Amino acid sequence: MTTTSGATPVWDAETLVDRYAEVRSHTETLAAPLSPEDQTVQSMPDVSPTKWHRAHVTWFFETFVLADHEQGFAPFQDTYWFLFNSYYEAVGPRFSRPQRGVISRPGAHDVGVYRGNVDERMRDLIGSLDGGTLEKVTPTIELGFHHEQQHQELLLMDIKHVLSLNPLQPAYVDRPARAAGDPDPGPLGWVDVEGGLVEIGHDGDGFSFDNELPRHQVWLEPYRLADRLVTNGDWLEFMADGGYRRHELWLSDGWARINAEDWRAPFYWTEVDGVWFEHTLHGTWPVDPSLPVTHVSHYEADAFASWAGKRLPTEAEWEHAVRSDGQGDDVTGNLANTETFHPTAASATGAGDARIRQAYGDCWEWTSSSYLPYPGFHPAAGAIGEYNGKFMSNQMVLRGGCALTPPGHARASYRNFFPPGARWAMSGVRLADGGAPTTGASA
């Protein structure tokens, strides 16, 4: 569900059609380097095949826009409603998520035909609606843009995992030319934040998801936020000090998980003859100590923070610190538009006058906050109300965006969320310190 708590942006039909074409064609650009075979593989239950993403985002426009507003509507294919529904119970039955990889038909080409059909019908529809109806349907179309962009990021995260299991270790794209090594990010510094009674949540300008609202007050004790992300070099120290073997550093669930699944390093790391290598969208390379560590779970992030004698920030601390640092409206960073497809080393200074480096982009930053509704949150009625609200259980919030995130999805109030054991998302770690002392014990 989209909500613009200020005035709904004015979209005329021509602007809407242009924006539609732009968002849709970018998905095809991202899929272009991938063969039909690449696009069919599902390498684990959390990963969806590329062609499924391409079809599902199309299904979204067909289901939530065309079905309600197109004269004489009929689905492109009845079976596609079943195959490409992700999780919307109100829309009807759907195919099993962990088995999306067996959908060999429709093929990648057929999905392209489906996309073309819905694109043509969407263009015709937008051009034919009267002003009042267009205004009414525009928020859903705009939600469809943001939904498709979220899947653009997932498409990249998912194909990274698919390619990682191929023994040939193929690259999604060639590695960009770099100067001799990444710059040294320098020592980790700290940014002090006063705290007090602060406001968090979307502030009313432009698009937001419903989970960023309502804006509300939060009390924060004084705290400090690290001025850069934790690096691979930092992580190697943690590993060398027995980080994955010391139970006292771990949450109980995390300790059980790392032992059950034998986690001894970040998700895409492998050790060959004593040297650590990292799988990336550019192929497999020796671990670069200057780059941010990425593809670690919440459990690992929390254990690292314990080892460092620090903690993870709450989502309110993250949002308030970034706004206080002048980065509320000024969003710059290593996001998907840079086409690095991987985190880069922190520059010596933040953007402009900013003190917090890498606030946006590079890696989604785990927080210590459970993904919960803000006070006064109510999901919308109907199927579209299933977009965010029903996932507010057993997930942790991440902030800031990563190198695969479309720029429109990085803002101070944006809340991403994954289960604490998830590692295939491009997630990293920023430390916090200070605030309320932790006391108490449990039996």
What is the smallest separation between the CB atom of 56 and Fe ion, expressed in angstroms? Answer: 6
Structure-block tokens of residue 400: 């800031």
Nearer to Fe ion, 152 or 327 (CB): 152
Binding residues among 84-103 for Fe ion as defined by CB under 5 A: 86
Nearer to Fe ion, 243 or 406 (CB): 406
Q: In whole angstroms, what is the distance from residue 30 CA to residue 337 CA? A: 12
What is the smallest separation between the CB atom of 248 and Fe ion, expressed in angstroms? Answer: 40
Nearer to Fe ion, 86 or 327 (CB): 86
SS3 133: helix
C-beta atoms surrounding 443 within 10 Å? 2
Given the rule CB under 5 A, which of 79-87, 292-300, 304-312, 338-346 is the region that contacts Fe ion? Answer: 79-87
What is the smallest separation between the CB atom of 59 and Fe ion, expressed in angstroms? Answer: 9
CA 196 to chain centre: 29
What is the smallest separation between the CB atom of 91 and Fe ion, expressed in angstroms? Answer: 12
What is the smallest separation between the CB atom of 420 and Fe ion, expressed in angstroms? Answer: 22
The answer to whether the beta carbons of residues 254 and 302 sit under 8 Å apart is yes
Q: In whole angstroms, what is the distance from residue 87 CA to residue 388 CA? A: 11
Given the rule CB under 5 A, which of 67-75, 78-86, 297-305, 423-431 is the region that contacts Fe ion? Answer: 78-86
What is the smallest separation between the CB atom of 197 and Fe ion, expressed in angstroms? Answer: 37
Q: Where are the beta strands (DSSP E) in 244-338?
A: 269-272, 275-280, 283-286, 333-334
DSSP 186: -
DSSP 20: H
Given the rule CB under 5 A, which of 69-77, 83-91, 312-320, 390-398 is the region that contacts Fe ion? Answer: 83-91
Nearer to Fe ion, 159 or 200 (CB): 159
Cα separations (Å) of 272 from 112, 121, 180, 260, 366? 41, 53, 24, 23, 29
Nearer to Fe ion, 86 or 413 (CB): 86
* Total of residues contacting Fe ion (CB under 5 A): 1
Q: List beta partners, residue 284.
A: 279
What is the smallest separation between the CB atom of 151 and Fe ion, expressed in angstroms? Answer: 6
Nearer to Fe ion, 3 or 86 (CB): 86
Q: Does 2 bind Fe ion (CB under 5 A)?
A: no
Nearer to Fe ion, 86 or 231 (CB): 86
Which residues are CB-contacts of 10 (< 8 A; sequence separation ≥ 6)?
A: none
C-beta atoms surrounding 249 within 10 Å? 21
Which residue's Cβ has the minimum distance to Fe ion?
86
Residues in touch with Fe ion (CB under 5 A):
86
